[in-house]
Amino acid sequence: MNKVIILNKRPHGTPTLGDFKITSEEIPTAKDGQILLKTTYVSVDPYLRGRMNDSESYFPPFELNKPIQSGAIAEVEESKHADFKKGDFVTGSLDWKEYQTSDGKGLHKIISSDAKLSSYLGVLGMTGLTAYLGLTKIGLPKEGETIVVSGAGGAVGTVVGQIGKLLGCKVVGITGSDEKAALLKSTFQFDHAINYKTTKNLKEAVKSACPEGVDIYFDNVGGEISDAVLANINKYARLPVCGAISLYNETEVPTGPRLQPIILTKSATMKGFIISDLSEHFPSATKQLTAWLNENKITFSETIVEGFDNIPQAFLDLFTGKNQGKMIVKM
């Protein structure tokens, strides 16, 4: 039988395992023009939380009692499609199913390379592109500037920091454990790292790590962490708003400091972006990220969880920071 994970209930606040259900169905067979795919790796991502709500966003909501989808890598088990052969690996948005058929639309073949297969869900996939394009196209870094990155120990954050260093900037990361803070400095070349869970006065900690002020704030988390960074921005600062994970499980609209006076008096630019808005740049960005990886100028880390049944738990663990680097489930 073929295991499938469906949305059982819409989460209220922080999601729980009961919001998901593992069901089973017959393993499908490929018809003419189709391929049968066997899932190899599944990416769990914070944005999936938004799709579990019954509200329109940049992606339609998941339907109740239907499979959840996310970025995944799968192996072609059987092909009745001219463009694919058995043994090919593909990446794309797939259902949380062990096996599924596809007409190939929206799938990209992974051309065999030296890169680790799972890296196509991270540094060479959506999160790497988000880091590179969010920083370069919206953050507009200039040599010598100071970048602060929140969510720094995760898939996007670790890559943002390294690119910032490659471009000649000073980089400060904010993360949720001493272990991650140490890794940011030892493995990912950050100049400073702040543990937001143990720092009493985050605003002062950012000020002391950035005596020349903050020129770019790459925001992955929103909320109080961002309030503390915004209090330290320089004139003409750029603030790419990439994510707001600290707010995804809120059931009431939270209030905080009003940002307009800061943005106004600092002539700052705060700009949200969804990575698909920047798709025209994907080929050149992938080429650059691949080159940096091959030249060992950047590195990446992954937290690999084993087993199809553990996909929901791996997703939940994003909200408690159990991952270091990209969270991926291996079948």
- Exposure letters 62-85 (e unless 16+ CB within 10 A, then b): beeeebbbbbbbbbbbbbebeebe
Instruction: Sketch the per residue contact string, 126 through 145, with ligand NDP: x for CB under 6 A, - otherwise.
Output: xx--x---------------
The size of the interface with ligand NDP (CB under 6 A), counted in residues, is: 32
Stretch that binds ligand NDP, among 24-32, 72-80, 135-143, 320-328 (CB under 6 A): 320-328
> Between 34 and 220, whose beta carbon lies closer to ligand NDP?
220
The reply on whether position 302 binds ligand NDP by CB under 6 A is no
The reply on whether position 199 binds ligand NDP by CB under 6 A is no
Which one of residues 5, 37, 42, 46 is an interface residue with ligand NDP (CB under 6 A)? Answer: 46
Give me the least distance between CB of 145 and ligand NDP, in Å please: 21
Which one of residues 138, 160, 262, 318 is an interface residue with ligand NDP (CB under 6 A)? Answer: 318
The reply on whether position 242 binds ligand NDP by CB under 6 A is yes
> Between 37 and 121, whose beta carbon lies closer to ligand NDP?
121
> Between 220 and 232, whose beta carbon lies closer to ligand NDP?
220
The reply on whether position 70 binds ligand NDP by CB under 6 A is no
Residue 202 vs residues 113, 230, 251, 321: alpha-carbon distances, Å: 43, 11, 25, 18
Looking only at residues 148 through 187 of this chain, which bind ligand NDP when binding is defined by CB under 6 A? 151, 153-157, 175-177, 180
Give me the least distance between CB of 195 and ligand NDP, in Å please: 8
Please, what's the largest Cα pairwise distance for the chain?
A: 64
The reply on whether position 47 binds ligand NDP by CB under 6 A is yes
The reply on whether position 14 binds ligand NDP by CB under 6 A is no
153: Cβ contacts below 8 Å, ≥ 6 apart: 173, 175, 176, 177, 180, 181, 183, 184, 321, 324, 325
Which one of residues 107, 121, 275, 311 is an interface residue with ligand NDP (CB under 6 A)? Answer: 275
Which one of residues 59, 282, 308, 319 is an interface residue with ligand NDP (CB under 6 A)? Answer: 319
Q: Which residue is nearest to ligand NDP (CB)?
A: 154
| Long-range contacts (CB closer than 8 Å, 24 or more residues apart) made by 168-173 | 168/143, 168/144, 169/141, 169/142, 169/143, 169/144, 169/145, 169/215, 169/216, 170/144, 170/145, 170/146, 170/210, 170/212, 171/146, 171/147, 172/146, 172/147, 172/148, 172/206, 172/209, 172/210, 173/148, 173/149
Q: Which residues bind ligand NDP (CB under 6 A)?
A: 45-47, 126-127, 130, 151, 153-157, 175-177, 180, 220-221, 225, 242-246, 273-275, 318-319, 321, 323, 327
